[in-house]
């Protein structure tokens, strides 16, 4: 009996995942709850445990992007016992034993494996069988290329999922949908015959198996470590793993910076010492890097928001002197009492929460033909992390004090930098605040974080001459930008919301008095 392992539901707004790393190989015997592979979404990396004990058959390869509910692999429950059959087959493959003697055993244990079209791309629904490299009745080995498949975007090879006898179902030129059957492989006589050549050196094969199993984790990076090494341009072979079985952890990859930089002068000096290696100071190099899963997902979603929403941006400016004076007066006592610094984010979050209560449509979302209003304020804060932009959520921010908000900001930002944010900590926000001012941005038009309908952009604080009570004075000014979905937020509401935030920041006492 084969059990299909499917992509589980992993988050509220996550519709697809990427297969990052397989911890097991095709045909391996797996145990219940043993980790099969690691899956990546645009928000987190998580493990997929086995739902039963049996023989693993991989459907989705590393790097494949799968929708929620798609089949990743199958587990053949009855195959767990038959997987031990090759051992006695090796003994029976002695020169004095005829090959035909294995036929009764293989026919009794024979099973048929369907070779299906694997998922090959997000928008590809069918493929064309280009050419078969094998004929019906041929014996095939594990991972041997059976045929070439063509889609409207690329041509790729289909390897055999098991050793056995091939029977072709779809001929060359046939158009087959994703998941359609291309051929069958009868595992039995063909599998025994395929294993016969290995019997010539049984003594050598026996000790090599444990070594292969032991060396699988050694030098193999985790998904997070692999991305860090790719960004640094360091090969996993150059990094010593400190994880279980020698696996390369994220910390190993982060610490590999020093070794790679140390090796660079040595390599450079070697090249410089070689008399035959000319130097060219005018050479212009090109460098290509594969786009990360997070970056691809962020790009796709931002474009979708631009195309699917009626997004507009309104601007205003706020005099930050009252907030800065208040911080300057109490920041030392605030930190001494609460253990965190008094920053601008807590004032902005508090002001936003007050304004969201007065303008509930800014704190809503669209669900089909309905508008869903939130009676709470889960404020998302955009944080720049090593993997890219992430948006953790401060839950029930309207009930938190300034110290509580600052503590959450510090906690979430720290976890973002360490790539330790959970799915729960990045899901379910109702409104987003992004601060481009920390990078020096004077003005921007932030893009809405779907399914939310509005986002507030903070910018840098610049001293500018302004008129106050008929006098020209120098004040620390900041531009604010509110991008909103015009489908449910009118211009009056958006402008009034931003003006309300401005009033609360220019008179912080209103936050304390709730007026």
- List active site positions: 486, 490
Tell me how far apart the alpha carbons of residues 479 and 457 are, in angstroms, rounded to a whole number.
Answer: 8
Show the CA angle centred on residue 15, arms to residues 452 and 23, nearest 5°. 135
Of 64, 34, 42, 23, nearest in space to 390 by CA = 42
Query: Would you state the structure tokens that stand for residue 234, as one six-digit string?
Result: 């360091």
Tell me how far apart the alpha carbons of residues 49 and 51 are, in angstroms, rounded to a whole number.
Answer: 6
Tell me how far apart the alpha carbons of residues 382 and 458 are, in angstroms, rounded to a whole number.
Answer: 11
- Which string of DSSP letters, residue by residue, matches 136-191? TT-EE-TT-EEEEEE-SS-EEEEE-SSSEEEEESSPTT-EEETT-EEEEEEESHHH
> Token pair 């098991």 is at which residue?
162
Q: HSE on the CB side for 316, CA within 13 Å?
A: 18
- Which string of DSSP letters, residue by residue, matches 303-330? HHHHHHS-EEEEEEEEE-HHHHHHHHHH
How many C-beta neighbours within 10 Å does residue 295 have? 15
Cis? peptide before 451, omega within 30° of 0 = yes
């Amino acid at each position: 009996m084969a059990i299909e392992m499917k992509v589980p539901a992993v988050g509220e707004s996550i519709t697809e995942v990427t297969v990052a790393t397989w911890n097991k190989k095709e045909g391996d015997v797996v145990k219940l709850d043993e980790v099969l592979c690691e899956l990546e979404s645009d928000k987190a990396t998580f493990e997929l445990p086995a739902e039963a004990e049996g023989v693993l058959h991989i459907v989705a390869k590393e790097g494949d992007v799968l929708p929620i509910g798609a089949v990743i692999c199958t587990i053949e429950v009855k195959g767990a016992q038959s997987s031990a059959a090759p051992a006695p087959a090796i003994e029976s493959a002695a020169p004095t034993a005829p090959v035909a003697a294995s036929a009764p055993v293989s026919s009794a244990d024979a099973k048929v494996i369907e070779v299906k079209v694997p998922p090959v791309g997000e928008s590809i629904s069918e493929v064309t069988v280009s050419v078969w490299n094998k004929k019906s009745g041929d014996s095939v080995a594990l991972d041997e290329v059976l045929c070439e498949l063509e889609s409207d975007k690329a041509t790729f090879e289909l390897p055999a999922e098991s050793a056995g006898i091939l029977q072709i179902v779809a001929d060359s030129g046939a158009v087959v949908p994703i998941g359609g059957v291309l051929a069958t492989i009868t595992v039995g006589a063909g599998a025994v015959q395929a294993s016969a050549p290995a019997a010539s050196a049984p003594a050598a094969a026996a000790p090599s198996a444990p070594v292969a199993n032991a060396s699988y984790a050694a030098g193999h990076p985790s998904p997070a470590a692999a991305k860090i090494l790719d960004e640094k341009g360091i090969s996993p072979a150059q990094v010593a793993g400190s994880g279980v079985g020698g696996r390369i952890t994220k910390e190993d990859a982060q610490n590999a910076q020093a070794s790679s930089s140390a090796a660079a002068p040595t390599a450079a000096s070697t090249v410089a010492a070689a008399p035959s290696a000319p130097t060219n100071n005018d050479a212009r190099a090109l460098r290509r890097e594969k786009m990360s899963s997070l970056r691809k997902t962020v790009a796709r979603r931002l474009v979708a928001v631009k195309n699917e929403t009626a997004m507009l941006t309104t601007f205003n400016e706020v005099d930050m002197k009252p907030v800065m004076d208040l911080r300057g007066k109490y920041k030392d006592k605030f930190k001494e009492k609460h253990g965190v610094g008094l920053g601008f984010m807590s004032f902005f979050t508090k002001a936003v929460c007050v304004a969201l209560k007065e303008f509930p449509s800014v704190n809503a979302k669209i669900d089909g033909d309905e508008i869903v209003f939130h009676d709470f304020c889960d404020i998302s804060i955009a944080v720049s992390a090593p993997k890219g932009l992430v948006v953790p959520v401060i839950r029930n921010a309207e009930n938190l004090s300034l110290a509580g908000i600052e503590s959450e900001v510090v906690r979430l930002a720290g976890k973002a930098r360490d790539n330790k944010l959970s799915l729960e900590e990045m899901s379910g926000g109702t409104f987003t605040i992004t601060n481009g001012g920390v990078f020096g941005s004077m003005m921007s038009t932030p893009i809405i974080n779907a399914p939310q309908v509005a986002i507030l952009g903070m910018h840098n604080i610049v001293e500018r001459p302004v008129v106050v009570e008929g006098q020209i004075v120098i004040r620390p000014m900041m531009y604010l930008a509110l991008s909103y979905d015009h489908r449910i937020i009118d211009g009056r509401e958006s402008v009034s919301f931003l003006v309300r935030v401005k009033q609360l920041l220019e008179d912080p006492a209103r936050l304390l008095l709730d007026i």
